[in-house]
Chain A
Amino acid sequence: MKEISVHRVGQAVGSYVANKASRLEQAEYLAYGAEILIGSIFKLSVLFSVAVIMDIVLEVTVLLMVTGLVRTLSGGAHCTAYYRCLVTSVLTLSTLGYTIKAAYSFLLFLPESALIGITVVSAYLYWHYAPQAPLNKPFNSRKKELAFRWYTLLAVAVLSITLIILGANSLTAWTMTFALLWQAFTLTPVGHSFIRFLDILLTPNKKGGEAEC
């Protein structure tokens, strides 16, 4: 039996749509778009199903919005296959969401300076490590790289100001803080090692890494 994967489904849907729309010359391109869309819909469905079961929908939504926005601009560590990415993303976001929810009664007693301190550490990591292009799509110019660097820093600045205004007694503020910290962590060498470790751990033949990405 042929292996079912998001890549194969995307290719099949893209080719079918290209055929039906009389755009055969764009079949590969449409298949790429279909793969992104189908993969995203499936991943979001799994992520939010887990979030509903664990009653952490608000936390996961904020985590996803903040990490998604910043990651689009800053880049970060990658897994080498769709299903490993799916498991890693769902695992990290649901664990973070659940931990924030469980620790919220403790976080409430922390002063505003703790919130600002973590935000400053995150901002330093973005300043030092962003942006990072994926291996299969490197920056084609220094100008583009610099633009992504400043977009990242601008997004981080806006999010940081928002969470500081919300204050240390807001669950959303703490969720945004840990979302920024987690995303900054995935830019660091330790973060890359951690994602690579999960990637290898989830690989049946133990040959993970980022080379194929």
Chain B
Amino acid sequence: MLKFITKPMFQGLAAVFAVVAMTNIGTTSLFMMYQPEPPKKS
């Protein structure tokens, strides 16, 4: 059961991280005075 729900849960979390990274939400407003370094495009 745990194994069954683990992957969708992490996929959901990965989707949240991807949306935050894509939209940069927080880097200018919530972070206010600090910009994390975005990953270099390869």
Contacts and interface: CB of A to CB of B under 8 A. Distances in A.
A33 B20 contact: yes
Interface residues of A, number: 48
A14 interface: yes
Which secondary structure dominates where chain B touches chain A? Answer: loop
A105 interface: no
Contacts, number: 118
Interface in A1-51: 7, 10, 14, 17-18, 20-23, 26, 28-37, 39-40, 43-44
Interface string B5-25: 011001101101111111011
B21 A30 contact: yes
A118 B27 CA distance: 28
A143 B6 CA distance: 44
Interface of A: 7, 10, 14, 17-18, 20-23, 26, 28-37, 39-40, 43-44, 67-69, 71-72, 75-82, 84-86, 88-89, 134, 136-137, 186, 195, 213
The 3 closest A-B pairs by CB, nearest first: A33-B17, A85-B34, A33-B21
